[in-house]
Chains A and B, each alone.
Chain A
Amino acid sequence: MPGPAHVAESLWGLLADGSLLASVAVSMRRVCEGYAVSVLVGVPLGILIARSKALEDTVGSLVAGLQALPSICWLPLALLWFGLNDTAILFVVVMGSLVSVTISVQDGVHNLSPGYVRAARTMGVRGLALVHHVLLPASLPSVLTGIKLGWAYAWRALMAGELLFVSVGLGHLLMTGRELGDMAQVLAVMVVIAAIGIFTDRVVFGNLESYVRDRYGLGRA
């Protein structure tokens, strides 16, 4: 088991030869692309499922079923459909995070007080306007939780996806470390992934959430 000094040295080595920067950049781009697709598809899908009985019975149960699948299940399919390229990795990332975004949004809209919707309807709000002015703003706190979860799932899925083939990326650095029995490198990459996770959670999502909570009167008692 390598000590902290050993890990720091490995981290420095990865930084110095440029492989860490390149890997972080490529992995980050993959996560961002997959995550953007997940949010753009997942949020509307969650709202639709929550608002339509027919969709909930059909697509809703499918999504609930897919949630149980770990990302590595998608690897053979991704390989078969897309081949050895970035699209296959993107597919695995989307399949990993889309479902969790959809389910959280769906739950958020489900748990809205029906009073809001009824009041809006009484005032003649229908269709897209109802979604835009009532449903989305009212469920924003849980939508935010959903997309935050989606980010974490996207990272996990990416680590699985990057094992598909050898290309630049954090998942590959992790695997190289493992294959060569270089635990210091494995730990160094784990530190980097955790650091990115903490940064995103605290700086990006943490601030947004605290802002939204305050605006919704959900601040600390």
Chain B
Amino acid sequence: MRSRARIDPRLVLPVVGVLLFGALIVFGERAIDRSTRAGERPRTRVRLAYFPNLTHAPALIGVAEGRFQRALGPAVELSPKVVNAGPEAMQALLAGEIDLAYVGPSPATNAYLRSAGKALRIVAGAASGGASLVAAGDSRIEGVKDLGGKKVAVPQLGGTQDVSLRHFIAAAGFAPVPNGGTVDIIPGGNADILTLFKQHRIDAAWVPEPWATRIVLEAGGRRAVDERDLWPGHRFATTVLVARTGFLGQHPELVGAMVKENAAIIAWIAKSPKAAMNAANAQLKVLSGKALSDEVLSESWSRLSFEADPNRASIEGFAEAAFECGYAKQRPGDLSGLFHMEAGPP
């Protein structure tokens, strides 16, 4: 009889490698909480998008403590989706993948205008304030009036802080460099801005919390202007709750329940800010693996206020300012259709 042919080890090793991968997948996926995977679906689902941000504290608390789920009742399943940026959340909403979203007023207004007023309605407010102009500690920048000839960073071109900066420097008589002015506006991610600050590459930055506070505490920055001081009534919309128009038409009672719970959470935040702050931070830790340090948390928290009124005047102000900076093609005009503040279908 012929002896058994020898198998080349170079054929065995790849098979072993692939088997190892397979084992890793099976073993690793078992470690993931089953509840996060698709299981049996109840009849109705509410898909809620929010960001892992302090400015979304009502959403963080409502999801983490099961308050939204309780408000919706046992027949309805709350399916929270965590997203990282407003434009993505709005794309998903336009695609019908999201029913409700906590989002900044700029992406919401953009999606509303782009869909010719069809896609969504603002049904409540959530947060106000929480953005600052931070200057390098050794600079002599005291306010917007000192920004001529300076390098100023913003988190995103066309983002809320960018629009604010352009609006307020225009009011102070300056213009950005590409438009023949002297203010050099540098877009960069929040984390990158912190690094640029540490390396003394920029003079100032217009950033949201907790980054403004982190720049002050970690990079020797100085808070020159709290943006709230620039707005009438000391307040402007930072986060609003929007509903997809189709969903609002089908399930006005569910949207109503969420709006009511949003208001209840905001009332609770006002009553026990300490507990609320820590609850929000705990959920941040769950979502992103890192909680904010106590120092950053309490300072950032003090720069924010939470209110159920979306502050329509400031949203219209942002839309007008975005048009003035050239970010919108037409004048926004009347935005009254964007707001849906009473209960019932649109």
- Chain A interface residues (CB < 8 Å from chain B): 17-19, 21-22, 24-26, 28-29, 32, 76, 79-80, 83-84, 163-166, 168, 173, 175-176, 178-182, 199-200, 203-205, 207-208, 210-211
Contacts and interface: CB of A to CB of B under 8 A. Distances in A.
Contact of B84 (A19, A26, A179, A200): A179
Interface string B77-119: 0000111100010011001111000000000000000000000
B28 A165 contact: no
Interface stretch (B8-16, B61-69, B142-150): B8-16
B38 to A, nearest CB: 9
B231 to A, nearest CB: 27
Contact of A22 (B13, B32, B189, B191): B32
B21 A28 contact: yes
Contact of A76 (B21, B25, B91): B91
B81 A165 contact: yes
B97 A203 contact: no
Nearest to B91: A79
A112 to B, nearest CB: 24
B10 A207 contact: yes
B29 interface: yes
A25 B83 contact: no
Nearest to B87: A76
Nearest to B27: A25
B84 A166 contact: yes
25 contacts: A21-B28, A22-B31, A24-B24, A24-B28, A25-B28, A25-B32, A28-B24, A32-B25, A79-B95, A79-B97, A83-B92, A83-B95, A166-B81, A166-B82, A168-B32, A176-B289, A179-B190, A181-B194, A181-B214, A199-B17, A204-B17, A204-B18, A207-B9, A210-B10, A211-B10
Nearest to B52: A166
A178 B82 contact: no
Given A179-B191, A181-B195, A199-B17, A84 B29 contact: no
Contacts of A26: 28-29, 32
* A-B complex: 7 closest residue pairs judged by Cβ atoms: A25-B28, A83-B97, A181-B191, A166-B82, A207-B10, A211-B10, A203-B17
A84 B14 CA distance: 34
Contacts of B91: 76, 79-80
Given A166-B84, A179-B288, A210-B10, A84 B98 contact: yes
Nearest to A18: B31
B286 to A, nearest CB: 11
Interface hub of B21, B27, B98 (most chain A Cβ within 10 A)? B21
B290 interface: yes
B267 interface: no
Nearest to B13: A207
Contacts of B84: 163, 165-166, 175, 179
A29 B24 CA distance: 9
B287 interface: yes
Interface in B238-285: none
Contacts of B36: 168
A178 B17 contact: no
Nearest to B12: A207
Given A165-B88, A176-B289, A208-B11, 15 more contacts: A21-B24, A32-B25, A79-B88, A80-B91, A84-B81, A163-B84, A173-B289, A176-B290, A181-B195, A200-B17, A203-B13, A203-B14, A204-B14, A208-B14, A211-B11
A130 B8 CA distance: 28
A154 to B, nearest CB: 13
A109 to B, nearest CB: 23
A210 B13 CA distance: 12
A179 B284 CA distance: 13
B92 A84 contact: yes
